[in-house]
Amino acid sequence: MANKNGRARDTSIDDRILAVAARHLAEFGYDGMSVHGVAADAGTTRQALYRRWATKAELAAAVVAQIPRGDAPSDDGDPFLDLVSELGDFRSGVSRPGRMSLVGTMLQDGTDDDVRARYRERVVAPRRARIRAILERGEVAADADLDIVVTMATGSWYARALAGEPVPDDWAERTAAAVWRAAGGVPA
């Protein structure tokens, strides 16, 4: 894409800005992330950043937009094992550097509402939909409260993290079994 002067825009600057903004958002939260700090650490100017993103909220939203949504739930014929796999994927994602900090950032009062909504749309809602779809394919109780059960699936990870407890290696299997039972199913 050319700018007003006809020169092509340097997309490597975009990439550097987004990488630094992602790190700053995770390290400092939305309130602590500054356009000046992002630009300086990305080796560019605030003007170059503002030509790409008009506000800090737009920049943070662009960072959130880069988070992978994840694939459709696996369907290997055994919904319980698919749930174990989905929770294993969740664990891998939330264990990446800066991801728990990003979750905390989304909970801060000062985080822009649009950024928070985009995070929910990009990260939270797809994961919840995948877990729910897996549970709906399984042999669970017709009257199971799937909203609560889905929340339990990932909520146990966050509760352990907040309590400072290490997450056991078999967390995905144990959580899947507990969630399955809570939904009225019997794990294989």
Claim to verify: residue 147 and residue 114 sit in the same structural domain = yes
Structurally, how many domains does the chain consist of? 2
| DSSP letter assigned to residue 124 | I
Place of tokens 């399955």: 180
% residues pLDDT > 90 (the chain): 50
> In sequence order, which residues have a C-beta less than 8 Å from that of residue 91 and are 6 or more positions away?
157, 167, 171, 172
- Is this structure's pTM higher than 0.85? no
55 occurs within a structural domain: yes
**Per-residue pLDDT, 78:** 86
**Per-residue pLDDT, 70:** 67
173 φ/ψ sector (left φ>0, alpha ψ -120 to 50, else beta)? alpha
Domain span holding position 115? 79-182
- All residue ranges of the chain with pLDDT < 50 are none
Claim to verify: residue 26 and residue 101 sit in the same structural domain = no
**Per-residue pLDDT, 96:** 81
**Per-residue pLDDT, 103:** 85
The H or E element containing residue 101 is: helix 99-107
Q: How far apart are CA 80 and CA 131, in angstroms?
A: 10
73 occurs within a structural domain: no
Spatial contact of 17 and 52, defined as CB atoms under 8 Å apart? yes
**Per-residue pLDDT, 187:** 67
